[in-house]
Structure 1
Amino acid sequence: MPASISLHQLSYSTPDNQPLFTGLDLSFGNHRTGLIGRNGIGKSTLLRIVAGLIHPASGSVTIQGSIGMLEQSVQVTPQTTIADQLGMADALARLYRLERGDGSIDDAGEADWSLPGRVETALKQVGLPAYEADRPLDTLSGGQRTRLALARLILTAPDIILLDEPTNNLDADGRQAVVDLLHHWRGAAVIVSHDRNLLRQMDAIVELTTLGARTYGGNWDHYAERKALELASAEHDLATSERKVADIDRKLQAVAEKKARKDGAGKRKAAKGDIPKIMLGGMKENSENTSGESARLANRLRNDAAEAASEARSNVEILTPLSVTLTPTGLPAGRTVLQAVALTGRPDSTIPITRDLSLQIVGPERVAITGPNGSGKTTLLRLLTGKLPAITGAARIMVPYAMLDQTVSLLDPVLSIRENFRALNPNADENTCRAALARFMFRADAALQIVGTLSGGEMLRAGLACTIGGNQPPQLLILDEPTNHLDIQAVQQVEAGLRGYDGALLVVSHDADFLAAIGITRTISLPMNGF
């Protein structure tokens, strides 16, 4: 029987009683499905419910086949080895005992002599070397641990795999390893991801919202086309509904004016005594009845039209992406923005990771720094900004700049977004502050949120608002892996903000779609062994 997952009337609430799902009905077939939705909507929770790691408040989960799961993060202790992470510690220990000559009869009966070769093949398939099985797991980077978790799925070969943000912390080669794994996977797969290139490998997309789940046949590009059509339809419905309200208002006004003129004429005739009093009373009563009925009908029509317009407007607000118009930076095309000459440095006492690097940015260039994990991309940014002293060489930034790292540490987490803006833009008045934050969708009370309570996407959007959203944006913006841990909607909002920025950009990122969307003009690729 083909592998499948069926969810029936599933309900779940967070520990603070915030409902994530209520009566959710959803199924996943024997193909590759991308699960998307904004941060906090419950995507990871849903995977953990399917995997049996947590239990729903109500409803049922029916699974055909075995399941393997790759979670976003794994708890690592100093005692955890690579063999433990692969789930092969006991089987490999059995082989080692037999090789030493002290294995038991049971060991001999249960031994799988093909296992070492299969482990080596699985590691190679995900781009890892043939590690020693007893190597401590905490000696590997986050990206290497993710690849190791993928190798475990290859070894155990479950019928269904659940992958939670598998390309986070992975370089281009690591991301390709995930794509290759899914390309050759013949079972069912459910993948939570914001990686648009990975989502292009899917057979279906499921979007999770507060209203439930909706399935779109096809990959990311098909989904994006469908969503664009939905937006166009919603905007058409809104325009139609608002025209209808305006038409009714005009007709009501015309009727009111006509009634006023008719009533005025009647009063003038009555004043002359041309109409008998008994007829005048009847005419007045008929007029009032007719007017009352017309008013009730008109109000009902207007209320219906206004309700339709309100619903259409809410749909447009939900679907419309962020579009930002920013104050020009005034950066001249020929101005030298940044210059580094023969720069050499390292993050600690190890050998230099950046060697003899020379770099110049002139005018509003948009430069990307790419390279494999461990090639020194973040170290280079720290050397360029002076946060890390160079061993030899020198670097200068010659224009006002701002740097947003992966945690947006430029913002004070105990202050509100508004307070952070005023601290970073001391010459801006309250109107300028509010207007700048509103451009990035922090309107009214939303601007008063404490930064430490924001999601990753909101945090980065707040960082952009506080740096490039004011009347004097910096002429250079430096970003370090800005799309890590952001949902797709948040990534697209950041892209929109950066498209409206006319200064120079220096960006570290593995996300090719993101780099293309913000108009990168030059790419510097760091090799694994540095310069």
Structure 2
Amino acid sequence: MPALVTLDSLSAATPDGRTLFDNLTLVFGPERAGLVGRNGAGKTTLVRLILGELAPAAGAVGVQGRLGVLRQAVGPAPGETAADLLGVSVALARLRRIEAGAGSVDDFDRADWTLEARLDAALTEVGLAGLDLDRPAASLSGGQATRARLAGLLAARPDMLVLDEPTNNLDAEARELVADVLGRWKGGAIVVSHDRVLLRRMDRIVELTGLGVQIYGGGYDLYAERKAEAEAAAARALADAERAAARIAREAQAAAERKARRDAAGRRSRVGSSDPKILLDFRAERAEASGGRERRLAERLKADAARDLAEAEAKVERVRRLAFELPPSGLPAGKPVLAFEAVGFAWPGGRPVLTDVSFRVSGPERIAVVGPNGAGKTTLLRLAAGELAPTRGAVVRSVPVAFLDQHTALMGDAGTLVEAFRRLNPRAGENAARAALARFLFRNLAADRPVAALSGGERLRAALACVLMGDAPPGLLILDEPTNHLDLDSLGAVEAALRSYDGALLVTSHDADFLAAVGVGREIRL
């Protein structure tokens, strides 16, 4: 029986009453569907409705077949093993009791005799062949844990997968592996993701917008192309409707003014006319009737134009497009920026994380630090920023440096945006702080928002404002996985801003599209 998820006239709202979607009707079948939308559009709510974790405000959800769920990565509980991550610890314990001769009648009745073979195949498919299932889950990297959970799903053979940001925190190789696994999946899949590599493997893209659900056949590239075409066509139609409405209003006004002049001329001519009163009255009635027809025609044309304008406006999503520019750094071409001279690093009592790393950065170079998870990319960035000191060799910084880690920890979680800006830039007054934040689209009351309430994209934008709008703009900007937790619109805006930045950029990211978009020209491979 094919998997099927049916949403019938579904409505949902946020706890504060904001409508997320209304009268939503949609079917997910045996296909790979990418679910995208701005942060706050309702993607997570829709997934929870499908899983039965929330009740809709109206409408119904129907599920045919078994669902397998992979949620956004969370840390393992104390004492959990790899088998717990795969969701098979109970079933494996049952098989082991039987093998040891201690199995009960219930064990034999409920034993999954093919489980171990399916697990071996699934672990091999996700690149974890030979994983010790008794290994502590805490000893696995974030990427390994995600792949283990995915293997558990594959071994369980559900009818439909529901994956929530499955490639977050994975390195490039693991991202490709997950995309390949999904590409070979024969059942249905609902995939919430902003990973363009993964979205390219989709059969269709379902986008939640302020206009409702928009559906695009094919993967990410076709979606992006068709969405741009649809938005351009809607914008042109709106502009045409606005021009038509303005033209009709001008013509109606001109017609009214002409009639007023004719009426005034008629009144003047009547005063001095020797024509019989009955003829003058007839002329006045005819003029009034003609004017009435003109008014009704003008009103009908205005009503038609207003209807066309309303229809055109309804096809244009009224959202503020995120776009901001980074201030100039003033970094001259060819100026030395950063040098690593035979740098090594190890934690006290630990094995070396980096050994004999040497490179130089000059002028506004764009450099990516690449390598698998655990290779030491973040350690290298922290050394470059001065947060760590090398245990061997030397790091030479020749310009001011700003470092934003994956969680933009410099922002903290306490206080408002204005307060965070002034804490990081003590010489800035209240007006200067608000002006700086406004350049990054935190205008008026938005600058008073609590830092803890910001989305991932807003937090990155606020952090950029704090480090780039200070007294000494940095010549080197260091970014650690800046695209995590950004929706596609925010991702495009950050890429555009960094592309126009005139300083040097040292970045680590597993998103190859992002690295290409910001103009990376050199890699340091660990």
TM-score tier by shorter-chain length is 0.7 to 0.9
Distance 1:49 1:267 in 2: 72
Q: Is the 2:85–2:152 contact (alpha carbons within 8 Å) kept by the matching residues of 1?
A: yes
Helix, strand or coil for the counterpart of 1:134?
A: coil
Aligned positions of 1:399-438 closer than 5 A? 399-411=399-411, 413-418=413-418, 420-421=420-421, 437-438=437-438
Output aligned runs, 1:143-154, within 5 Å: 143-154=143-154
Structure 1 residue 126: Cα displacement? 1.0
Number of residue-to-residue matches in the alignment: 525
Tell me the amino acid that sits aligned with residue 387 of structure 1. Answer: E
Whether 1:514 aligns to 2:514 is yes
By how many angstroms is 1:457 displaced?
1.3
Q: Which residue does the alignment assign to 2:122?
A: 122
Could you tell me which residue of structure 1 aligns to residue 334 of structure 2?
Answer: 334
Instruction: Indicate yes or no: 2:362 matched with 1:362.
Output: yes
Task: Mark the CA change 1:477 to 1:264 in structure 2 (over 3 Å): closer, same or farther.
Answer: farther
The 3 A distance-change label for structure 1 pair 280 and 378 is farther
Which letter maps to 1:510? H
CA contact (8 A) 2:36 2:192 kept: yes
Which stretch of structure 1 is more off in the superposition, 420-429 or 125-134?
420-429
Q: Is the 8 A contact 2:176 2:197 kept in 1?
A: no
Conserved? CA contact 1:334–1:362, under 8 Å: yes
Match of 2:95 in 1: 95
**Structure 1 counterpart of 2:25:** 25
Which residue matches 2:137?
137
**Deviation of 1:361 (Å):** 1.1
CA distance in 2, matches of 1:105, 1:267: 109
Rounded to whole Å, the distance in 1 between the matches of 2:252 and 2:343 is: 74
Deviations 1:228-276 (A, max 9, x none): 11121022123213322442454356456656766786798799x5789
The letter for the 1-side match of 2:330 is G
Compute the displacement of 1:54 (Å): 3.3
Give how far 1:404 is off: 2.0
Q: 1:365-376 counterparts in 2 under 5 A?
A: 365-376=365-376
Q: CA deviation at 1:521?
A: 1.0
Partner of 1:162: 162
Name whichever of 192-201 and 386-395 sits farther off.
Answer: 386-395
Please state whether the residue corresponding to 1:353 is helix, strand or coil. Answer: strand
Q: What's the offset of the Cα at 1:191?
A: 0.6
Alpha-carbon distance between aligned partners in 1 of 2:61 and 2:320, rounded to the nearest angstrom: 34
1:244 paired residue number: 244
Residue aligning to 2:397: 397
Residue by residue, what CA displacement relative to the aligned partner does 1:293-318 show, whole Å, maximum 9, x if unpaired?
Answer: 86786577557646755775686564
Q: How far apart, CA to CA, are the structure 1 residues paired with 2:308 and 2:468?
A: 37
Stretch of structure 1 that moved more, 286-295 or 103-112: 286-295
The answer to whether 1:453 aligns with 2:453 is: yes
Superposition pairs for residues 162-181 of structure 1, below 5 Å?
Answer: 162-181=162-181
Q: Is the 8 A contact 2:339 2:358 kept in 1?
A: yes
TM-score by length of 1: 0.86
- Structure 1 position 489 matched with structure 2 position 489: yes
Cα distance in 2 for partners of 1:23, 1:265 equals: 58
Give the Å deviation of 1:133.
Answer: 2.3
TM-score (norm 2): 0.87
Mapped contact 1:326–1:500 kept (Cα < 8 A): yes
% same residue? 53
Deviation at 1:327, TM superposition (A): 4.2
Distance in 1 separating the partners of 2:92 and 2:458? 46
For structure 2, list consecutive stretches of 5 or more residues without a partner in the other structure.
none
Letter in 2 for 1:167: T
User: CA contact under 8 A between 2:211 and 2:314: conserved in structure 1?
Assistant: no
Q: 1:400 and 1:95, CA in 2 relative to 1: closer, same or farther beyond 3 A?
A: same
Which 10-residue stretch deviates more, 18-27 or 253-262? 253-262
Q: 2:211, 2:189 → 1: CA distance?
A: 24
Q: For residues 361-383 of structure 1, what are the alpha-carbon distances to aligned partners after superposition, in whole Å with 9 as ceiling and x for unaligned?
A: 11111111121111111111111
The residue number in structure 2 matching 1:475 is 475
- Per-residue deviation at 1:101? 4.3
Residues 385 and 478 of structure 2 are in contact (CA less than 8 Å); yes or no, is this contact kept in structure 1?
no
Structure 2 distance, partners of 1:299, 1:34, is: 47
Query: Residue type matched to 2:30 in 1?
Result: N
